[in-house]
C-alpha cells in the first residue's frame, strides 16, 4: 500500500523545474503532474488564487473569468478549461482525502507508469562528423501506411500527440484519431494539442504575467517557495502595442516617440522587465524591436526545438489573430484567446477539432509587375469562394520554390481573412535559406 502523502510529495516535486527524480519505490511520469499546480495544500491554494478556485479542502469553485478573458474565448473553450481544472482538483482531493490506496486504485496505474507508449520509435539523429544532434520520434517507424497519406500540417499534430502521450492528458486513442485523420476529420473528432511555445504581446501578455505574479505572492504568504511558479512551456512576450505617433516629419521622430512611449508606460515596462528575469521559460522582447509578427518570424521562430536533446517541430499559439504569419516559415501557429493561452502556459493541452486540410497547388511564377499583394488578394478570393473556415490550408507545388519567404509570410498572415485556421508552407530550401539570412546558426539550420 502506498501512502497518499508520498504521492503528493512526489507530484509536488514536478512543480519545480529543478525537481529531482522521484524515489525508486514510485516513479510517476513527468506528465502525470498535470495536477502540478494542485497537489499540496499551499501549492494548490496559491495556484488557484488567481482563478477563484482556492479552498482549504480543494472543493471546486466556479472559475472566475474576467470580462477581457471571457470576451476573447468562446463558451466551449471556457467550459473545457473549467472541466480540466475540475479534473485536477478532483485528482488532488483523492490524494488529500485518501490515507492509502492499493494497486487496484485507479491512481496507482497513473503514478507508477514509467514507460512512454511510443518509446520504440524514439530515434537518434546523427551528426555527419560523429555524435548526434539529439533524439526524435520517427513517424515512419510506426510502419503505418496511413501516415504516408497525412498532410505535413497533420504530421505536426501527430508528432506532438506522440511526444506528449501519457495516457492521461494525451492518450493513445488521441494518437489513433490523428493517424486515422482521413476518416476521423469529417466526424469533427476532438483532440488535445500541446504547442511548443506561446507568443504574447504586451496588450494581452501583461494580465498573464500579473496572474503568475499573484500566484507567487500567494505562495510566499503560505510559506512555500514562490520560485516554483513558472510557465511550463516557453513563453515569448513582445512589447509592441504601446506605440503612439506624437512626432512626425522630423529627423528625431523615432527617438522622440520612443522617449514618450517609455515615459507613459514606465510602470508596465518595469513590471515586464522584472518578469523577464523572475520567471523561467519566459523571454520578454523590449519595446522598439519591431512588431510581434516580424520579431516572431525573424528571431523567435525556431522551426525545430532542441530541448535537452529532444528534437521536435516548432509550433506556437499566440494571442493575436495574425500569429498565422509564422506559418510561412514552416512553423504551425495560429491565434487563440487569452484564457487558452494561459492554460497552455500552465501545461494544459488545447482541445481542438481535428481539422480538414485544403491543398492549394502553386505553379509557375509571378509575371513582371505582379506584386505579392496581387497574389495574396487572388489567393484570398479563391479560398473564400472555396470555403476553408476552421480548416488548415497547405500550399504545395513547384511554384512554391519561386516564392520568397516574405511572400509566403504575407499569404500566411492573411489566414484570418480567408477564414482558415492557418495557411501552412512546409519547410523547404527557401525556409533554410531564410534561416541563414536572418542569422540562425549553421547547427540550427
Give the pLDDT score at 66.
38
| SS3 assignment for 130-184 | CCEEEEEECCHHHCCCCHHHCCHHHHHHHHHHHHCCCCCCCCHHHHHHHHCHHHH
- Length reported for the chain: 445
Assigned architecture for domain 357-437: 3-Layer(aba) Sandwich (3.40)
The pLDDT profile of the chain, 445 residues, written as one tens digit per residue, is 333 433 333 333 333 333 333 333 333 333 333 333 333 333 333 333 333 333 322 223 333 333 343 344 455 555 555 655 555 555 555 555 555 444 455 555 555 556 899 999 999 999 888 889 999 999 999 999 999 999 999 999 999 999 999 999 999 999 999 999 999 999 999 999 999 999 999 888 899 999 999 999 999 999 999 999 999 999 999 998 788 888 999 899 989 998 888 889 899 999 999 999 999 999 999 998 889 999 999 999 999 999 999 999 999 999 988 999 999 999 999 999 989 999 999 999 999 999 999 999 999 999 988 988 999 999 999 999 999 999 999 999 999 999 999 999 999 999 999 999 999 999 999 999 999 998 887 777 7
Name the DSSP letter for residue 313: E
* Residues 113, 32 contacting (CB under 8 angstroms): yes
The matching CATH number, chosen from 3.20.20.70, 3.30.499.10, 3.90.76.10, 3.90.1150.10, for 197-353 is 3.30.499.10
Residues 272/202, Cβ–Cβ less than 8 Å: yes
The pLDDT score that the predictor gives to residue 334 is 97
Find the distance separating the first CA and the last CA of the chain, reported in whole Å: 51
Nearest Cα residue to 199 out of 294, 302, 319: 319
What residue ranges do the domains of the chain occupy? 2-112, 119-193, 197-353, 357-437
Look up residue 290 and give its three cell numbers.
519591431
The whole-number pLDDT of residue 110 equals: 55
pTM for the model: 0.75
Q: Do domains 197-353 and 357-437 have the same CATH topology?
A: no
Count CB atoms within 10 A of the CB of residue 109: 12
Report the SS3 class of residue 223.
coil
DSSP string, 30-94: GGGGGGTTSSSHHHHHHHHHTTT---TT---------HHHHHTS-HHHHHHHHHHHHHHHHHHHH
Residues 13, 167, 337, 38: is their CA dihedral positive or negative? negative
Amino acid at each position: 500500500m502506498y501512502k497518499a502523502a508520498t504521492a503528493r510529495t512526489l507530484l509536488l516535486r514536478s512543480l519545480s523545474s529543478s525537481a529531482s527524480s522521484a524515489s525508486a519505490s514510485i516513479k510517476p511520469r513527468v506528465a502525470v503532474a498535470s495536477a502540478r499546480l494542485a497537489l499540496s495544500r499551499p501549492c494548490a491554494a496559491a495556484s488557484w488564487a488567481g482563478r477563484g478556485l482556492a479552498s482549504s479542502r480543494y472543493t471546486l469553485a466556479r472559475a472566475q473569468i474576467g470580462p477581457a478573458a471571457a470576451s476573447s474565448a468562446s463558451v466551449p473553450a471556457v467550459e473545457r478549461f473549467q472541466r480540466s481544472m475540475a479534473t485536477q482538483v478532483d485528482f488532488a482531493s483523492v490524494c488529500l482525502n485518501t490515507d492509502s490506496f492499493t494497486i487496484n486504485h485507479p491512481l496507482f496505474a497513473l503514478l507508477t507508469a514509467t514507460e512512454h507508449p511510443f518509446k520504440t520509435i524514439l530515434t537518434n539523429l546523427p551528426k555527419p562528423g560523429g555524435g548526434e544532434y539529439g533524439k526524435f520520434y520517427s513517424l515512419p517507424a510506426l510502419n503505418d501506411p496511413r501516415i504516408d497519406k497525412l498532410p505535413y500540417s497533420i504530421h505536426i499534430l501527430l508528432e506532438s500527440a506522440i511526444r506528449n502521450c501519457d495516457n492521461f492528458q494525451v492518450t493513445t486513442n488521441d494518437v489513433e484519431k490523428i493517424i486515422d485523420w482521413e476518416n476521423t476529420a469529417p466526424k469533427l473528432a476532438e483532440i488535445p494539442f500541446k504547442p511548443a511555445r506561446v507568443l504574447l504581446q504586451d496588450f494581452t501578455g501583461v494580465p498573464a504575467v500579473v496572474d503568475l505574479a499573484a500566484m507567487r505572492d500567494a505562495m510566499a504568504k503560505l510559506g512555500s517557495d514562490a520560485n516554483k511558479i513558472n510557465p511550463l512551456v516557453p513563453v515569448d512576450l513582445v512589447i509592441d502595442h504601446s506605440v503612439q505617433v506624437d512626432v512626425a516629419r522630423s529627423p528625431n521622430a523615432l527617438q522622440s516617440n520612443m522617449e514618450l512611449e517609455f515615459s507613459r508606460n514606465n510602470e508596465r515596462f518595469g513590471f515586464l522587465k522584472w518578469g523577464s528575469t523572475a520567471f523561467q521559460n519566459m523571454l520578454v522582447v523590449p519595446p522598439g524591436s519591431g512588431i510581434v509578427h516580424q520579431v516572431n518570424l525573424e528571431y523567435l521562430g525556431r522551426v525545430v526545438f532542441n530541448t535537452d536533446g529532444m528534437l521536435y517541430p516548432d509550433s506556437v499559439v499566440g494571442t493575436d489573430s495574425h500569429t498565422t504569419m509564422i506559418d510561412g516559415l514552416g512553423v504551425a501557429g495560429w491565434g487563440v484567446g487569452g484564457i487558452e493561452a494561459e492554460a497552455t502556459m500552465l501545461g494544459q493541452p488545447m482541445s481542438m477539432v481535428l481539422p480538414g486540410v485544403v491543398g492549394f497547388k502553386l505553379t509557375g511564377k509571378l509575371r513582371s509587375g505582379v506584386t505579392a499583394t496581387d497574389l495574396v488578394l487572388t489567393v484570398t478570393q479563391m479560398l473564400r469562394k472555396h470555403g476553408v473556415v476552421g480548416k488548415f490550408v497547405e500550399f504545395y507545388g513547384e511554384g512554391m520554390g519561386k516564392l520568397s519567404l516574405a511572400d509566403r509570410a504575407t499569404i500566411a498572415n492573411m489566414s484570418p481573412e480567408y477564414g482558415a485556421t492557418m495557411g501552412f508552407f512546409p519547410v523547404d530550401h527557401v525556409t533554410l535559406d531564410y534561416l541563414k539570412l536572418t542569422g540562425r546558426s549553421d547547427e540550427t539550420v
